[in-house]
Structure formats: C-alpha cells, structure tokens
Amino acid sequence: MILKGDREMPQSIFIEPTTGRVYELDQSPYFAIEAIFNHQNFWINMDPKREIDMINLDFREDSTGEWEYVMI
C-alpha cells in the first residue's frame, strides 16, 4: 500500500507484489489490512476483521488504539 500524500500520491493505492497490478483502495481484491510497515516501524492492526473502508489509515498518529507499533 502506498498512502496518499507520500511521494506526491493523489490517492492511496495497493500494488500487488506478485503481478505489479495497481488497485485503488475501494477496487482492491483485499478484504482487510493486518499490518503496515515502512523504514521506521511496523504497525499491527488491532482489529484486522474491520473492512478496508472502515480502517483509520492514520496509523502514525493513531489515538484510537486501532494500530499498535512494534518498534519503540
């Protein structure tokens, strides 16, 4: 997943790593997001059964408790 705002992306997208195919979040074949990582940390979704359109993707500044970071 590449989040909008990062690297001048106008919208968040998924890139399927096995095919390189690009999906918009609402058109993706994925049902949920279990974890997200970048070069600084690894975040776990505390409610992985929640559908993608219901997930708070602001995991870096999460105040809702939806995401738990691994690295301190």
Same domain, residue pair 53 and 64:
yes
The answer to whether residues 37 and 64 belong to one domain is: yes
Same domain as 53, residue 68: yes
pLDDT in tens, 11-21: 989 999 899 99
Return the bridge partners of 24, or none.
13
Q: Is residue 42 located within the same domain as residue 59?
A: yes
Residue 52 and residue 35 share a domain: yes
Task: Reduce the DSSP state of residue 68 to 3 states and report it.
Answer: strand
| pLDDT at residue 16, rounded to an integer | 92
Which domain, by its residues, includes 7?
A: 1-30
50 and 25 co-located in one domain: no
Tell me, yes or no, whether 41 and 24 share the same domain.
Answer: no
pTM of the predicted model, to two decimals? 0.70
Which residue spans within the chain are E strands per DSSP? Answer: 13-15, 22-24, 35-37, 42-45, 67-69
Is residue 6 very low, low, confident or very high in pLDDT (cuts 50, 70, 90)? low
- The verdict on 26 and 42 lying in the same domain is no
